Amino acid sequence: MVAPHVDRTDISPIGEPMRSRRHTWTTSIRRHARMTPDAPALSFLGEVTTWAQLERRTDALASALARRGIGFGDRVVVLMLNRPEYLEIVVAVNRIGAIAVPVNFRMTPAEVSFIVDDCAAKMLVADAPLVQLATAVAQRCGSVRHLVVTGVPDVLGEHESFEALTDEVGDPAPVVDVPEESVMLLMYTSGTTGRPKGAMLSYSNIMSQTMTALHASPIGAQDRPSCVVPMFHIAGIVSFAPSIHVGAVMLIQPLGAFDPDVFLDTAQADRTTSVFLVPAQWQLVCAAQLARPRTLALRTLSWGAAPASDAVLRAMAQAFPDAENLAMFGQTEMSPVTCCLRGVDSLRKIGSVGRVVESVEARVVDSEMNDVAPGEVGEIVYRGTGLMLGYWNNPQGTAAAFDGGWFHSGDLVRVDDEGFVYVVDRKKDMIISGGENIYCAELENVLADHPLIVEAAVIGRSDPTWGEVPIAVVVTSGEQVSVADLTVFLDQRLARFKHPKDVVVLSELPRTATGKVRKPDLRAAYGGSDSALTEHRI
């Protein structure tokens, strides 16, 4: 591993021939700017950025950063909404060998400050709507020397203008050869189970994922993929990788409350050919499309970040019968895809996340790192070209994650005789009740088929007799649902010991910005031993 904090000032500027051989985004953008300068690279709210413009702006930004003392290995935190400037600053940071750190803007100042302090960021780049949050963080964190904000005058108080940096005149940035094993992105995990950990992703990691994506669903320069999910998430930022490689325009969608009708109308107007959404979004989109069908250019529907129920997958097939359904499964530490379920198998293997991709080596093991038999449940562990270098500033966390020489995913899976992987649960979510293993994901999947249940999350509650019992936290279509109702529904579907012993009805489930249910919040509210059961025990 190349330690990202090592002083690389000894690197000498080199000529173009070596730099042009590197598998980096800056190399691809430079190539497209030379070969197809007027072709569109980015599109946002009707405004188009060509490859030549993207090259000029990222070069100017890189020079401005270098003049402010940002160099090889330095960290720059990005606290922005979805917009072209997001990609521009990431590319500019990488041009000089620095490390971009995308951060979830929905976090509190204390949460963002932890990340900024942990990586000792020298610069924070923020959107104008987030200036209050960014200012609070910059004031709390001593490492931040520069705060750059979009959409403000040249200088506003202690803020510098993003646009002023792109127009600034001065010495150009030094030409830096950035080896592919260097850290490109520092992606902090969601932190739903504790303090976030910064996964160090290299240029090689991202190129590996580029090839994985192109192999799963080939695109060309004529395609029009769309980025709807937040760009601070690994699924968002890496969604640009195939487009940057082949020279396709990326349609960037602004963030806000997700409206399925607005999404479908925009996809129709933009002639969107592919999009990644989380299952909760696909559920809404399918209902909207079935209610008012649009004529769309969509040929690839992909999903991930959270499990998709059988009901959602059937709805996708019904609403978009001519599009390929592509499941992309993985995690940030693998940058991120490890398994892919291609369209040809999507209905035949419904419920599976697909086979392990070609760039990944995987095993399914027990707690002693012994391989389990096919069909048995175990933890899936990984090696491969997409695997992170480790956790930033966290040798203990890195050592634990790589125990036994393999990366421990925390996902409990089983593999069928054709090599298709089925996620049973997260290791930390498994409930042990009276010595029996209960997998929350299995119960959630069945509950999603209940006619009155819109969404379901299952948690464990401590119990003096059984140790733990499953609790169903659900969103309904307006009707009340009782344990007795669920018993009748589940009796022919699951063994009695797997049935929920309590049901909690909410108006909505708490979620992270990437669509994952915040189970720690549910456990805190409904998982304690002092939480009285509202229904009888089964």
Burial of 360 per CB tally in 10 Å (0-12, 13-18, 19+)? buried
Task: For residue 365, report the phi and psi dihedrals to the nearest 5 degrees.
Answer: -130, 160
**Region at 271 (left for phi over 0; alpha for psi -120 to 50; beta for the rest):** left
**Measured distance CA(208)–CA(76) in Å, rounded:** 23
Q: Are 534 and 497 in contact (CB under 8 A)?
A: no
pLDDT attached to residue 307: 66
- The token pair at 64 is 């401005």
d(CA 302, CA 438): 29
CATH fold for domain 430-526: GMP Synthetase; Chain A, domain 3 (3.30.300)
Asked if residue 336 has a cis previous peptide bond (ω within 30° of 0), the answer is yes
Please provide the CATH number assigned to the domain covering 257-426: 3.40.50.12780
> What does pTM read for this prediction?
0.82
235 in Cβ contact with 276 (< 8 Å): yes
CATH 3.40.50.12780 fits 16-38+47-200, yes or no: yes
Stretch(es) of the chain classified as CATH 3.40.50.12780: 16-38+47-200, 257-426
Neighbours of 11 (CB within 10 A): 15
Give the burial class of 9: count Cβ atoms within 10 A of its Cβ; 0-12 exposed, 13-18 middle, 19 or more buried.
exposed
Q: For the segment 241-270, what is each residue's pLDDT rounded down to a tens digit?
A: 999 999 999 999 999 888 999 999 999 999
Tokens of 354: 């697909």
pLDDT at 514: 63
pLDDT > 60? residue 79: yes
pLDDT at 177 over 90: no
User: Cis before residue 174, ω within 30 degrees of 0?
Assistant: no
Residue 352 phi, psi dihedral angles, 5° rounding: -90, 155
The residues, ordered by sequence, that sit 6+ positions from 524 with a Cβ below 8 Å of its Cβ are: none
Quick: pLDDT tens for 109-140.
888 999 999 999 999 999 999 999 999 999 99
Give the per-residue pLDDT at 20. 81
Token pair of 443 as six digits: 């119960």
- How does pLDDT run across 4-38, given as a tens digit for each residue? 433 344 444 555 567 788 999 999 999 999 999 99
Which of 338, 332, 428 lies closest to 389 in space, CA to CA?
332
